[in-house]
Amino acid sequence: MDMSIESQVAAAGEAPSGNCAWSESTSSVERVATAKLPTETGEFLIAGYRSLISDEEFVVLYKGQMEPEVPTLVRIHSQCLTGDVFGSIKCDCGPQLHKAMELIEKAGRGAIVYQQQEGRGIGIINKIRAYSLQDEGADTVEANEKLGFAVDARTYKQCAEILSDLGLCQVRVISNNPDKLRALEEAGLQIVERIPLEIKAEKAAAHYLKTKKEKLGHLIDF
């Protein structure tokens, strides 16, 4: 069944069906608004969610009908101002985001939860401080440690709750990050496939990606 963008907007907010282990009653997020978002990649819907237990806000970009029994492309994308907006080649975030949008556009359905946890959760200012240490030779993990932060301060439970709230259950996850896969499973979503995101590494990102693979366990092939 095909739904127009209009009827999808109208349907947004309806309770999900399906038999995912995760139940709506335990949700710690709420949807605040949904709207159409035409992009260079295609027509999407955008929804804003807020956390009921913190100040955190989330955005989800999605398209097509969200059905629990239909394996659907999903991605949890962590905000990277430098990569997503400025086209930084220190990391692979921007190309990953756009590749995920293209895959979803091609498939005709899918969802990207945009998690506003910049710099693996340390915030943009601290990320710039970490970059400054990296200019002096530290790698991405050492820089966070020198600044006294956890190597990775992110959690993904609420992102998984948003995907459930959209009505999804069986998911094809676009990710190289085992922590994100684990979080989706723990939240009761059924992972039917992992779609690796292999972005051709720019020279500046090669060392960063190597560190992500070796120190953070990301599933990247070189």
Active site residues per annotation: 152, 154
Residue of the chain from 91, 111, 113, 163 that contacts Zn ion (CB under 5 A): 91
Residue of the chain from 47, 74, 93, 181 that contacts Zn ion (CB under 5 A): 93
Q: Is 187 in the site for Zn ion (CB under 5 A)?
A: no
Residue of the chain from 64, 68, 83, 95 that contacts Zn ion (CB under 5 A): 83
Q: Is 110 in the site for Zn ion (CB under 5 A)?
A: no
DSSP string, 121-145: HT-HHHHHHHHHHHHTT--HHHHHH
Residues 22-61 touching Zn ion, rule: CB under 5 A, are none
Nearer to Zn ion, 34 or 78 (CB): 78
Beta strands 190-195; 170-174: pairing state: parallel
Q: Contacts by 5-11 with C-beta closer than 8 Å and gap 24+? A: 5/36, 5/43, 5/45, 8/45, 8/65, 9/34, 9/35, 9/36, 9/45
d(CA 139, CA 133): 8
Q: Are 65 and 3 in contact (CB under 8 A)?
A: yes
Q: Is 80 in the site for Zn ion (CB under 5 A)?
A: yes
Q: Is 220 in the site for Zn ion (CB under 5 A)?
A: no
The residue range among 24-32, 77-85, 111-119, 173-181 that interacts with Zn ion, by the rule CB under 5 A, is 77-85
Least separation, in Å, of the C-beta of 165 and Zn ion? Answer: 26
Beta strands 57-63; 110-115: pairing state: antiparallel
Within 13 Å, how many C-alpha atoms sit on residue 172's CB side?
17
Nearer to Zn ion, 131 or 191 (CB): 131
Nearer to Zn ion, 80 or 209 (CB): 80
Identity of the residue numbered 220 = I
Least separation, in Å, of the C-beta of 149 and Zn ion? Answer: 16
- Contact positions vs Zn ion (CB under 5 A): 80, 83, 91, 93
